[in-house]
Structure 1
C-alpha cells in the first residue's frame, strides 16, 4: 500500500473528523480509507485516531504526526498546482456548491460550454439552501449571493443578480395590484427562509431603503418551490430574475412594481485561499468570468448564442 497516499488519507480524516467525509472527498470507499489508516498506524507503530460510533478524534501521537506531515502535504499540493498552471490539462472531479435557483436552462448551458472546453473535468454540483463548509466538506468552489465570507476564503465577483417581486396574475386580480411599496404591508408572502423568515424585506428606493412587513404564508429554503407556489397564486415572492424571467415572459407570473422593487445582490465565486490553484479550479474560474463578460450568464435572452 502506498504510504504517501495513506498520509493524504490520514490528513483528510483528521481534517473532516470523519472516515465517510474523507472517503467522499478523496473518491475512495470507507473501507479503503480505513485500510490506509491502519497501514499507517502499523508502519508508525502508534495509534493515530480515536474512533467511536459518533466521532473521530486525533490521539496525542496523531496530533504530533499531523503537525509533522502537514508541511509536506502542502508542499506537494503547491508543487502540483504550480506545474498544472503551465503543463497539466484540467481533469478530475470539481466539486461545486451553487444556489437552488441556478438549476435552470441557462446554467445547464454554461455547464455544457465548460464541458466542451474541459471534457476531462467531472462537475459534481450540490444545489441546496445550506451554507456548506468548503474546506471540511471538500468543495473546490461555491457560487454565492453574499457580501462577506468565512475566514480563509477568497471571493471573486462575477456580477450582480437582479431580483423581481412577482405574483400570479389571478392572485393580483383577486387581491388587487399594489400601487406603492406601502401597499405590500400585510400582504401574503412566500418567504425564503435564509433571508426573510419573518416576512420583513428591505427594498432600496430612490430616497434610501424601505422595509416592507409582509405576512408569511409559506416558508422554504428552496427557491424553485417558492416560484411554483407563486405561480399557483399563493402570494408575493421576491425571486432571482434568472429563475422567474421565463415564467414572467410566459404570463404565469407578473413583475410587480417594476419601477420601485428592483433590488440586486452581488454574486461571487468563492474558493479556499491557496498560493496556487489546481488546473481544474483555475480553468473553471476563468471560464465563469469570461462567460459573464460575454453576457452568457444570468440572462435568459443570451442562451443559445454561444
Structure 2
C-alpha cells in the first residue's frame, strides 16, 4: 500500500474527469485505477466519489481530500526536485501549449536557444488559441495572453503585450481617420474571433474603460489574416504589436486612436501546482522571462 500512489491516482481521476481518461494518462488499466480508488475509500472510511454510468461526482469530503492531496504531492515533488536540482541539470520533456500567432512570432527563434542551453530537455509544443485544460489534457505549461481565470493554477508574468488600432493609408484616405472610438460605428472593422457582436475596449481617461461595438464584413480567429486584410484596405483592426509591428514600421499600416489605447495585456506562464518545482518547467519560464521581458 502506497498512500502517495493512491493520492496521485485520485488526483488524476479528478483532473481527467473519468477513470478511462485517468488510466490513459497514467498508463494503467481502468480496472486497476478503479480498484485502487475503492481501496482508498475503504482505508479512509469515506466515499470520495459518487459513481454512475455517465459521470463521476466528487463528494464534499472528496473535494477536501483532493485539495489537500494536491498540495502535499506538490510539496513532495518540490522536495525531490530541490534535492536533485542541487547537482543535476534540468532534464525531461515539457509539454507546452502556446497561442499560434505569438508562437510563430517568438518561439521559433527562442526555443532552439533554450534547447542549446539545456541539452537534456525536450520540448513538445501545441499551438492553439483555445485555453487548454492543463490538468485534463496533460500539459506541463501554457502561455496565455490576457486575464487568467484558473485560480487553481500558478501564473508567472512573462511580459507585457501592447495592442494597436490601425488601418492602411489607402483605407484612411478613402474613409477618413477615426478621431474618437465612437467614430468606428461608421467604419468597417476587422475584429478577432467570431460572433455577431464584438466589443473593442478603449481607455476613456482616468482609468475608465469604454466599450464600443464594432462591425465589419470579415471576422477571423487568426491575427495574421486580419493584419493582411487591413493592409489590403479592408478596414480598421486591433492587434498585438508582435503581429502588426513590421507593417506599422514600413508604413503598410498606420496607427489610429492612440490616445485611447488601453493598458497592455499580460503574457503569463501558467502551470499546475504540482509542476511548480519541475526544473525543466522553471528553466523554461525563467528563460522566457529573461528573453521576453523587454518585448
Aligned to 1:224: 224
1:122 aligns with 2:125: no
RMSD: 4.2
Question: CA, structure 1 residues 221+275, in 2 after alignment: closer, same or farther (shift >3 Å)?
Answer: closer
Task: Indicate conservation of the 8 Å contact 1:96/1:142, yes or no.
Answer: yes
Deviation of 1:138 after TM superposition, in Å, equals 2.7
1:90 maps to 90
* Aligned twin of 2:292: 292
> Which residue in 2 is equivalent to 1:190?
190
Unaligned runs of at least 5 residues, structure 1 = 299-306
For the structure 1 residues 89 and 18, does the alpha-carbon distance in structure 2 shift closer, same or farther, using more than 3 Å as the test? farther
Which range moves more in the overlay, 65-74 or 153-162?
A: 65-74
Matched, 1:108 2:113: no
TM norm structure 2? 0.74
Measured after TM superposition, the shift of residue 162 of structure 1 is: 0.8
Residue 161 of structure 1 corresponds to 161
Give the match for residue 152 of structure 2: 152
Change (3 A) 1:100 1:68: closer
Between the aligned partners of 1:153 and 1:8, the Cα distance in structure 2 is: 17
Match of 1:237 in 2: 237
Residues 158-208 of structure 1: per-residue CA shift (max 9 Å, x gap): 2311111122344334333334444323311122238x9623322225565
- Distance verdict in 2 for CA 1:80–1:200, change over 3 Å: same
Are the counterparts in 2 of residues 96 and 126 from structure 1 also a CA contact under 8 Å?
yes
Residues 282-301 of structure 1 show CA distances to partners (whole Å, capped at 9, x for unaligned) of 111211222134x4xx3xxx
Is 1:81–1:276's contact at 8 Å kept on the other side of the alignment? no
Q: 1:227 to 1:154 in 2, by over 3 A?
A: same
Cα contact 1:14–1:57 (8 A) shared by 2: no
Number of equivalent positions: 287
| Counterparts of 2:72 and 2:274, CA distance in 1 | 15
Are the structure 2 counterparts of residues 256 and 19 from structure 1 closer, same or farther at C-alpha, using a change threshold of 3 Å?
Answer: same
Q: Which of 11, 17, 33 does residue 37 from structure 1 map onto?
A: 33
Normalised to the residue count of structure 1, the TM-score between the two structures is 0.72
Q: Deviation of residue 117 (structure 1)?
A: 1.2
Q: How far apart are 1:256 and its partner, in Å? A: 2.5
For 2:172 and 2:199, the matched residues in 1 are separated by 20
Q: Any residues of structure 2 matched to 1:130-149 within 5 Å, and which?
A: 130-149=130-149
Structure 2 residue runs of 5 or longer lacking an equivalent are 43-47
